[in-house]
Structure 1
Amino acid sequence: MASQKEILDNAKSKMQKSIASLRKELATIRAGRANSSLLNGVQVEYYGVPTPLNQIASITVPEARVIMVSPYDKSALDNIEKGILEADIGINPANDGDNIRLVVPQLTEERRKEVSKKVKATGEQGKVAIRNVRREAMDAVKKGNKDDEFSDDVAHDLENRVQKLTDDQIKELESVVDDKEQEVMNG
């Protein structure tokens, strides 16, 4: 059975992965500011093969509200434009023959509130994931106690440490969500 250290390390690792996943998810939410991660999911047909956009083009942010896509191979320009349109990111690409410019529109107050709700909902999903990890760790502690691997005192102490770890990780998650909400609301 798992040792005390293994239970805590495993729980911490899984909780931190949940937060990393949340950060990645929040990075794709448009906040009125240009961010190259908006194009992370874009696939482009390149010589008959669906290819991630970032493998066939340079993606830069030359201005606060502009994303510039510069293909390594100019013949892929039309396919890149088509791929961006199909990804339905809510921004129409402007093709100037050499590059594609995406101008991120200013969010309206109403849209900011919608996006903020989405950020909160994504944060809640992250909290649920962390709580599920806590439940797994608590079950492992209870099993260890039942199987006489841990005394009642050790099990109680371990449960308290798992709860403190959970509280700390949820606090970090809330901080990440709050930062994103500020970015959305202040655009």
Structure 2
Amino acid sequence: MSDRGDDGADAEAGTTEMTPPATVLLDLDGVVAQQLPLTCEYLAEEHGVHLEPHEIDDWSYPIPELDGHIGHVITDLMRERPAWYFGEMPAVEGVHEGVAALREAGYRVEIATHRIPETHDHSKAWLAEQGIEYDAFHHEVPRDKGALPGDVLIDDYHGNVANAIAAGKHGVLLRQPYSDPTACAGAHVADSWGEIRRFFGV
């Protein structure tokens, strides 16, 4: 992985100390599926708010026209338009090959998402349609993902990765515009699934 060691964030090249059958906890939004393109499409078409995904650099990015922030918009879409929102998301580049390589190498892949549980059927249908296989799907995920059993968390949100590291797990941060590597000291920071694969040696 590229060296992103600023302020304690650790993203040294090479492979992890883990070996299969270690359990990989895998987030969905921002790691497997891209939620921001559809979010921006919805804002433009329904509210005349024009944003590009790369402009959203914080989960509290303000949307003054809606008297809220981007997190509120995403929550509303999850609750009000889950079939469209979760059914039409594009996959993150390289995720198909990356997840398949992890499982082929003997890692156990478990989905750990903070999407609301009522939408999990939509998430599972999307994963099946994409041909992304996994070993388990956690239906109830605590706010602290570090509390889940497992060996490593791959997530785009620094807070979740920091919690995993605090619980003694490895943490891999797949960097997005809103990710802050300095907030999860000890994390392995990746900018692509290719870098994640190199980290795991697959």
TM-score range, shorter chain: under 0.3
Higher relative contact order (CA 8 A, sep 6+): 2
Query: Taking structure 2 as the reference length, what is the TM-score of the superposition?
Result: 0.23
Which protein has the bigger helix share? 1
